[in-house]
Amino acid sequence: MRVNSQKEVKDMADNKYSKLVSVELHNFMSIKHCLVEFGDRGILNIKGYNDSGKSAILRALEVLFFNIRPRDHQKFILSYGEGEAENFFRITVKFDDGVVIKRERYLDGGNLYEMKQNGKLLYTNMDNGVLGKITAVPLAIKKYLRLISIETTGWNINTARCFDSRLLCETNPSDNYKALSEIMMLEELSQGGVMLNTDKNKLGNELEARKIEVQIYEKDVDALPDLSEEFITALKHSDDNLCDLETRFVEIDTLSDKVSEYENCKITPEMPILDTEQLNLLSNLKETQEKIDSIKILPHFENIETEQIELLYNLKSVENKLNAINILPQIEIIDMSRLEFLLDLKAKLKDLQALQEQIKNAEIESEKLHKEIHKLAKQLGTEGVDYKMCNKCGNFMSLKD
């Protein structure tokens, strides 16, 4: 299925209003085939006897442009009587910009919508030779034709027949209100305006409250003449030092536990330094020991305790760590209440900044809504609808009401 891009339809729609050049019918109602061409004057006068096909031409345009009475489309296929009938009808319209729109309906229920421009296919509901279901005029064709339909009443603003009531002139106020509300979205705009005003009032109240808080904080800050950027920097530096001191305190506490363990250790006797002669003696002693081990009866030796040697190694390690600790200078006590006040002031200023950003976003949204309202008002002007704007709420109201 070939669907034209939204840009292609928009470019065609924004260019100019296309002029209908001709209407061609095949097997529609009582017409076997006819071609109606429009002249340059834009006026066509169709004359004929009753049931000669005048209304069939208008009905064909309504079927193609608005898909009216879809349940009766099969009945519109030309019938010759006694069950004989064609198996389809075709409606083809041409415009002066080269656009051709074709509508077909078959006895088996198949429906076709197709739009081309200068031979280039822009839209078709046929996919791989299979016709899709049609419930309304396709969006691509509807945008090209600039169709404006009112679902609540079933009216089409773009067309009127001789026996149709003229909108806003021969229609009742209730129908007029429903039609204008659907076209102009008056209810949505009214509710949106109320909600916008409520949000603006709420933000205004919150802003005033924040301003009062800021004034209070400014007075408190003015009462502290010594408060400066250098003082705040010094406080931050002191806070960093406190964090370092806390870390070192934990390390000192750990070392203190090690010292306590050191103090509880037994004092070992001092051992003389061994020289090389003693090493030689030890070597000789080892040889002698090996000889003694070969003897069945061994002399008695006292056991050597290795735990004290391990404690000495641990004490030496603790001593090295203690020597590596730098003696910290004494730090004066810092008044934390002032620091807490500054931190709280910083949080309040941050909240104020966020509130200002919300107000800015609300003003942007308000500007967008005003632009949309003026855009709709401009569209009403092009449709010839008289309206007025309320100076209090900004809503648009029809002068007919």
- Computed over its alpha carbons, how large is the radius of gyration of the chain? 49
The answer on 309 and 215 residing in a single domain is yes
Dihedral angle over CA of 368, 373, 379, 382, nearest 10:
-120
- Structural domain containing residue 142: 6-147
Q: Give the containing element (helix H, strand E) for 229.
A: helix 229-263
The answer on 217 and 125 residing in a single domain is no
How far is residue 306's CA from residue 359's CA, in Å, rounded to a whole number?
Answer: 79
Q: C-alpha distances in angstroms, 154 versus 176, 182, 244, 248?
A: 12, 12, 79, 84
The answer on 262 and 371 residing in a single domain is yes
From 129, 147, 165, give the residue that closes a domain. 147
Instruction: Answer yes or no: is 176 within a domain.
Output: no
Lowest mean pLDDT among 96-105, 166-175, 297-306, 363-372: 297-306
* Backbone φ, ψ for residue 164 (5° rounding): -85, 145
The enclosing domain of 375 has a CATH number of 1.10.287
Instruction: Answer yes or no: is 390 within a domain.
Output: yes
The answer on 201 and 93 residing in a single domain is no
How far is residue 329's CA from residue 323's CA, in Å, rounded to a whole number?
Answer: 17
Instruction: Answer yes or no: is 384 within a domain.
Output: yes
Residue 146 pLDDT grade (very low, low, confident, very high; cuts 50, 70, 90)? confident
The answer on 90 and 212 residing in a single domain is no
Instruction: Answer yes or no: is 153 within a domain.
Output: no
pLDDT score, position 299 = 54
pLDDT score, position 261 = 73
The answer on 193 and 132 residing in a single domain is no
Instruction: Answer yes or no: is 122 within a domain.
Output: yes
Domains in the chain, number: 2
Lowest mean pLDDT among 76-80, 307-311, 384-388: 384-388
Give the chain's end-to-end CA distance (angstroms, integer): 46
Instruction: Answer yes or no: is 218 within a domain.
Output: yes
Instruction: Answer yes or no: is 233 within a domain.
Output: yes
From 93, 121, 147, give the residue that closes a domain. 147
The answer on 396 and 249 residing in a single domain is yes
Instruction: Outline where 105-263 has alpha helix (H).
Output: 139-145, 173-184, 186-222, 229-263
Q: Which of 7-16, 153-162, 256-265 has the highest mean pLDDT?
A: 256-265
Instruction: Answer yes or no: is 291 within a domain.
Output: no
The answer on 136 and 195 residing in a single domain is no
The answer on 195 and 90 residing in a single domain is no
The answer on 334 and 219 residing in a single domain is yes
Helix axes 307-324, 229-263, angle to 10 degrees: 160
The answer on 382 and 262 residing in a single domain is yes
* Backbone φ, ψ for residue 131 (5° rounding): -85, 135
Q: How many residues are listed for the chain in this entry?
A: 401
How far is residue 59's CA from residue 33's CA, in Å, rounded to a whole number?
Answer: 15
pLDDT tens by residue, 381-397: 777 766 666 766 666 66
What are residue 28's DSSP bridge partners?
A: 31, 77
Q: Are 148 and 182 in contact (CB under 8 A)?
A: no
Structure tokens given for 135: 């419930």
How far is residue 260's CA from residue 248's CA, in Å, rounded to a whole number?
Answer: 18
From 121, 147, 173, give the residue that closes a domain. 147
- Across 69-93, average pLDDT: 82
pLDDT score, position 400 = 59
The enclosing domain of 92 has a CATH number of 3.40.50.300
The answer on 192 and 122 residing in a single domain is no
